[in-house]
C-alpha cells in the first residue's frame, strides 16, 4: 500500500493511504503533491505538511472568511493574502454585498494547479467579475499598497518557507495601513496545542498596532493536534460585543449556506481553551 506521512513533527504525525497521485512537482526546493485518499478526497501537501483536503477544507475556509465579514457587517472591499487554492475566495464571493476582492498570491502556478486539480476549492470563484488576482509577494504588496480594505484575510502556509514573512511585525503593521476605518485583519495561526508560542508570538506582534486583538478557534481534522487558532485584530473593540441575534440577522440577510459556520459557532469560537488563555496571560505579565 502506498502511503503519505506528514513530517510536521518529530514525535507525532498522521499518515494517509494514497489511492492515486494526481500531481507531483518539485520547484525551487518545494515539494508539492496532490493525491486521492478514501476519507479526505483530494489531499494537497507541501514540503511534507498537509495544506488542504477536499473533505475538511470547508471548516477552515468558512471560519476564516465569514467570521470577519459578518462581524464587520458592511464589507465592500476584501484583501486575501495567499489562499491560492481559492477556498477563501469562494466563501468571500458568497457575500453579495462585497464589491471588490483583491487576492495576492506569490506563485501563479499554485493558482493554475489548484484550478486543475482542486476545482471544488475555488468552485468557479476565479471567474467572479469582482475578483482581481495579483501575482506578487503578499508582504511586499501590503508594504506598497495605497488602497484600503474592510477585511484582510491572511491564508498563509506555516512559518517555515516562503510564508514566513506573513508572520512578522512589519507585515502586521503594513496590513494595519491597508485597513479602512473599522477594518479587521484575520490570519491563520496554527494549532495552538502543538505550537503554543505561535499564539503568544502573534499576540505580541499584533497588539502594538491594534486596539483589540484576540483569537478564535475551529478544529480542522487534518491540522492535527487540537483546535486551530485564527488571529483577530481590529481597532473596533465593540465588534466582540456583537450579539448572536445581530450575526443571525446578517447571516440570514446574506443568504449563505454553510456546513460548519453558523451564528452560534461564530460567537462560541471566540471562547478560548484555558491553556491558551493562560499562555496569553503569562506572556503579558512577563
Site map 158..197 versus another protein, x via CB under 8 A: --xx--------------------------------xx-x
Q: Pseudo-torsion of CA 90, 18, 158, 130, nearest 10°?
A: -10
Q: How many angstroms separate the CA atoms of 145 and 201, rounded? A: 25
Half-sphere exposure of 167 (CA within 13 A, CB side): 20
**Could you say which of 14, 18, 169, 273 contacts another protein (CB under 8 A)?**
18
| Rg for the chain, CA atoms, rounded | 18
Total Cβ atoms within 10 A of residue 164: 14
Contacts (Cβ under 8 Å, ≥6 apart) of 190 = 158, 159, 198, 199, 223, 228, 229
Residue 146 binding another protein, by CB under 8 A: no
Contacts (Cβ under 8 Å, ≥6 apart) of 14 = 5, 6, 50, 222, 224
Task: Choose between 13 and 73: whose C-beta lies nearer to another protein.
Answer: 13
Q: Give the 3-state secondary structure of 138-178.
A: HHHHHHHCCCCEEEEEEECCCCCCHHHHHHCHHHHHHHHHH
Residue 282 binding another protein, by CB under 8 A: no
Measured over the CA atoms of residue 86, residue 92, residue 98 and residue 103, the dihedral's sign is: negative
Q: How far is the CB of 25 from another protein (least distance, A)?
A: 12
Site map 197..236 versus another protein, x via CB under 8 A: x---------------------------------------
Task: Choose between 29 and 259: whose C-beta lies nearer to another protein.
Answer: 29
155 is catalytic: yes
Residue 4 binding another protein, by CB under 8 A: yes
2-10, 109-117, 120-128, 129-137 -> range binding another protein (CB under 8 A) = 2-10
Catalytic member of 56, 85, 150, 155: 155
**Could you say which of 38, 48, 108, 211 contacts another protein (CB under 8 A)?**
48
Residues identified as active-site: 155
**Contact residues for another protein, defined by CB under 8 A:** 1-5, 7-11, 18, 21, 24, 26, 29-31, 33, 47-48, 160-161, 194-195, 197
Amino acid at each position: 500500500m502506498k502511503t503519505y506521512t506528514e513530517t510536521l513533527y518529530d514525535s507525532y504525525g498522521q499518515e494517509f493511504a494514497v489511492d492515486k497521485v494526481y500531481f507531483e512537482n518539485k520547484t525551487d526546493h518545494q515539494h508539492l503533491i496532490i493525491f486521492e485518499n478514501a476519507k479526505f478526497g483530494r489531499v494537497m501537501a507541501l514540503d511534507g505538511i498537509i495544506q488542504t483536503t477536499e473533505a475538511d477544507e470547508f471548516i477552515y475556509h468558512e471560519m476564516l472568511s465569514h467570521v470577519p465579514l459578518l462581524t464587520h457587517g458592511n464589507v465592500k472591499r476584501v484583501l486575501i493574502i495567499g489562499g491560492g487554492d481559492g477556498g477563501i475566495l469562494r466563501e468571500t464571493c458568497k457575500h453579495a454585498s462585497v464589491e471588490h476582492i483583491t487576492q495576492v498570491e506569490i506563485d501563479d502556478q499554485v493558482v493554475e494547479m489548484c484550478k486543475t486539480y482542486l476545482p471544488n476549492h475555488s468552485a468557479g470563484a476565479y471567474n467572479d467579475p469582482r475578483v482581481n488576482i495579483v501575482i506578487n509577494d503578499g508582504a511586499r504588496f501590503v508594504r506598497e499598497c495605497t488602497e484600503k480594505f474592510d477585511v484582510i484575510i491572511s491564508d498563509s502556509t506555516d512559518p517555515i518557507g516562503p510564508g514566513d514573512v506573513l508572520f512578522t511585525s512589519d507585515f502586521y503593521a503594513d496590513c494595519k495601513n491597508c485597513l479602512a476605518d473599522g477594518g479587521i485583519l484575520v490570519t491563520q495561526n496554527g494549532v495552538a496545542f502543538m505550537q503554543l508560542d505561535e499564539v503568544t508570538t502573534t499576540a505580541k506582534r499584533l497588539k502594538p498596532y491594534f486596539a483589540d486583538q484576540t483569537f478564535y478557534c475551529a478544529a480542522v481534522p487534518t491540522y492535527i493536534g487540537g483546535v486551530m487558532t485564527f488571529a483577530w485584530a481590529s481597532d473596533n473593540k465593540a465588534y466582540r460585543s456583537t450579539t448572536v441575534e445581530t450575526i443571525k440577522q446578517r447571516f440570514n440577510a446574506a443568504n449563505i449556506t454553510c456546513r460548519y459556520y453558523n451564528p452560534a459557532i461564530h460567537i462560541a469560537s471566540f471562547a478560548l481553551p484555558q491553556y491558551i488563555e493562560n499562555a496569553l496571560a503569562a506572556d503579558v505579565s512577563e
